[in-house]
Each structure stands twice: as structure tokens, then as C-alpha cells.
Copies of this chain bind each other. A is one copy, B any other.
Amino acid sequence: MPEADRRIVETCFSPALFEADRHTDSIVVIIDILRATSSICTAIENGAAGIIPVGDVEEAWEYKKRGYLLAAERDGYVLDFADFGNSPFNFTRDRVQGKTIAYSTTNGTYIINLALHAARVAIGSFLNISALISWLVSENRDIVLFCAGWKNRFNLEDTICAGAMSERLLGNSRYATICDSTLAAIDLWSKAKPDLRAYIEKAAQRTRLRDKGLDDCIDFCLTEDFTAKIPVMKNGILVDNNL
């Protein structure tokens, strides 16, 4: 592969490390698997017309007043004026089909809005990993795997998902990386993949969700290829890429 045709894969571990100006020609893949990006993939699979990522609580309330279905949480807790919270199990077909949902979470929706100057913004999780990788390759751009982390901190679960994606991308000779974060993510994925569910037991977010009784969806969120949908940002709304 001639150097000029190579596409670069980078990984960003935290919104505090995201360099928006460097990525205006790249596709940014948002990864917040416990639980925002898993929920968004589920909502689109279940027929949601679109998801509006909402940064702050006041803006969420405005959407609610305007009649939108509202999914919203902070630190795992459902906001009291929201219709439901941040579990993928909330986004059932009977609730979401044909609806546009305003959605606000602690980390995931915040970073979506940080990435808006990228060439494309897509939503990634284990739930749509194979379809996502195929689509990324077809788009033929540099890629940033943007892990939401937890309140600016590094987290394990998004990193291993980025590692799983990187391993597949770098298996294609068109892609290369010189990014230590990507190399680390791949190595952590190699530690995790023989028993992903056991590995995730040690993640801090696993403990946070268990402490709040919100861990019922973790096994689901670690499931590869539940859907072939790729939520992408179009005109400020996340929609099915095929629409």
C-alpha cells in the first residue's frame, strides 16, 4: 500500500485529550459502551427515527417541554422529568419506533458534541462492531476512536472496545497507526477477549452500575453484532446511516 493511500487510526481515551482541530477530515467514532452508545445502537435498531444528543440538563428539559421523548441520566440516575434513562433495555421498539428522542447522559452525549467538526461522526459499540468496521473501510478516511471515559478519566470498557475495532481495522493493509493509545488499546483487548465478561468485572464502571442496580445490561452491551445499524450524525441528529 503506497504511503499516501494509508489511512490512520488513532484512539482518544478522554474528552480532555480530544484534539478537535486535528480531526476535521476524519471520521470520529464515539464509544461509550456502558451505556450511551450501546443504547443509541439499540434505539436505531428498534426503529427510532433519530436521537438528538443533548449536552446539559436545562437543554434536556427544553426538549421535554417541546414534546420530545426524553432519555436522560446523570451518574446513572434517571432525571426526574425524563421519560426513561440510559439502559439499552429502555429503548424498546414499542417506545421508540418512529420517534425522535432527545438524549442526555453523563459522558457519551457530551463527547458527541465535542466531535461535531469532524468529517463524519458515527456511534460505535460491540453491538454494531462488524457493520461499523465495514462502513468505516468503505468511507476510506482517517479514523479517531473517541472513548468517552468517565468524567474525563480513562476507562477500561471503552478502551477494549476501541482495541477490538483497531485490531480489525489494522488487519486491513490500508490502515496504520503510530498512536500509542491505539497500540495500548489493542494490547488491552488481547488481554480481555479470551473472557470479555470476566475482564470487565474489574472495570470501575462495572462497580458503579452494580452499586446502583443498573448492571443488568452489561452482558448485552458486550454482545457483538446485535445490529447492523450504524447511527451517524446528520444535521445534528443521529440517524440510521442507510436512511
Q: How far is the CA of A154 from the CA of B149 in the complex (A)?
A: 14
Q: How far is the CA of A138 from the CA of B150 in the complex (A)?
A: 32
Chain copies in the assembled complex:
2
- Name the segment of A71-79, A105-113, A177-185 touching the other chain: A177-185
Q: A16-B16, A156-B184 are in contact. Are A204 and B179 (CB under 8 A)?
A: yes
CB neighbours (8 Å) of A159 from chain B are 180, 184
Q: A65 near B: Cβ within 8 Å? A: no
Pair A17/B190 contact, Cβ less than 8 Å: no
Min distance, Cβ A114 to any Cβ of chain B, angstroms: 14
CB neighbours (8 Å) of A13 from chain B are 13, 154
CB neighbours (8 Å) of A178 from chain B are 204, 207
CB neighbours (8 Å) of A153 from chain B are 17, 179-181
Q: How large is the interface on A (under 10, 10 to 19, 20 to 34, 35 or more residues)?
A: 20 to 34
Pair A204/B184 contact, Cβ less than 8 Å: no
Residue-wise interface mask of A (162-187) relative to B, using a CB-CB cutoff of 8 A (1 in contact, 0 not)? 00000000000000001111011001
Q: A223 near B: Cβ within 8 Å? A: no
CB neighbours (8 Å) of A204 from chain B are 178-180
In terms of DSSP, what is the predominant structure of the interface of chain A? helix
Q: How far is the CA of A184 from the CA of B149 in the complex (A)?
A: 13
Question: Which among B156, B180, B202 is the interface contact of A155 at CB below 8 angstroms?
Answer: B180
Question: Which among B16, B183, B184, B191 is the interface contact of A190 at CB below 8 angstroms?
Answer: B191
User: Can you name the residue of chain B whose Cβ is closest to the Cβ of A207?
Assistant: B178
Min distance, Cβ A227 to any Cβ of chain B, angstroms: 27
CB neighbours (8 Å) of A155 from chain B are 180
Min distance, Cβ A203 to any Cβ of chain B, angstroms: 6
What are 20 A-B pairs at a CB distance below 8 A?
Answer: A13-B154, A14-B14, A14-B16, A16-B17, A17-B17, A17-B154, A150-B180, A153-B181, A154-B184, A155-B180, A156-B180, A159-B180, A178-B204, A178-B207, A179-B204, A180-B203, A180-B204, A180-B205, A184-B184, A188-B188
A residues neighboring B (CB under 8 Å): 13-14, 16-17, 150, 152-156, 159, 178-181, 183-184, 187-188, 190-191, 202-205, 207
Enumerate the 9 nearest inter-chain pairs by beta-carbon distance, A residue then B residue, closest first: A156-B180, A154-B181, A16-B16, A187-B191, A155-B180, A180-B204, A178-B204, A16-B17, A154-B180
